[in-house]
Copies of this chain bind each other. A is one copy, B any other.
């Protein structure tokens, strides 16, 4: 799929068909898309947990109000905050990690869409409980969930606010 088309036709999908997403494709979304995002100071402190075990997904749903529908897979985008602090001090730990996570997530969502999959980025979940469910150590902190699956339908686009642009000066 052409880049501009992928950007404009991607939607946030919250209803999925039950069919699974091949694990190799989930891995490809991380290794051939997510990690090709830029990262602040090239820190690459992102960590990714692919979740496709129904029992683990069920537990995650219990602690994730934003995780809607029944996606067959979720990619949990985490950050190693120890390494982020070492590489980028406070700005790195608190701000750059969130930016890096989000750019990597956008790569995943665009690449998934190009493969005919639907995704939704989810910030409403309990990071501590998610750490417990996935066995993550304290310093590897989940920042964003991305649900992934075959969409039940392609949602229409929410209306875009076009009054967001100025040139050289805000007035």
Residues of A that sit less than 8 Å from B by CB: 1-4, 6-8, 10, 12, 23, 27, 30-33, 35-38, 40, 42, 44, 46-53, 56, 91, 95-96, 98-103, 105-107, 109-111, 113-114, 120-121, 123, 134-137, 140, 144, 157-158, 160-162, 164-171
Are B7's CB and A33's CB within 8 A?
yes
User: Quick one: copies of this chain in the complex?
Assistant: 2
**Which B residues are CB-close (under 8 A) to A166?**
47-50, 134
Could you tell me the distance in whole angstroms from the C-beta of A139 to the nearest C-beta in chain B? Answer: 11
Are B107's CB and A164's CB within 8 A?
no
Q: Provide the bound-state CA to CA distance between A135 and B168, in Å.
A: 9
With contacts A36-B160, A95-B98, A102-B106 taken as known, whether A50 is within 8 angstroms of B165 at the C-beta atoms is yes
Could you tell me the distance in whole angstroms from the C-beta of A93 to the nearest C-beta in chain B? Answer: 13
**Which B residues are CB-close (under 8 A) to A52?**
167-168
Give 4 nearest A-B pairs by CB, closest first: A102-B102, A3-B114, A106-B106, A103-B106
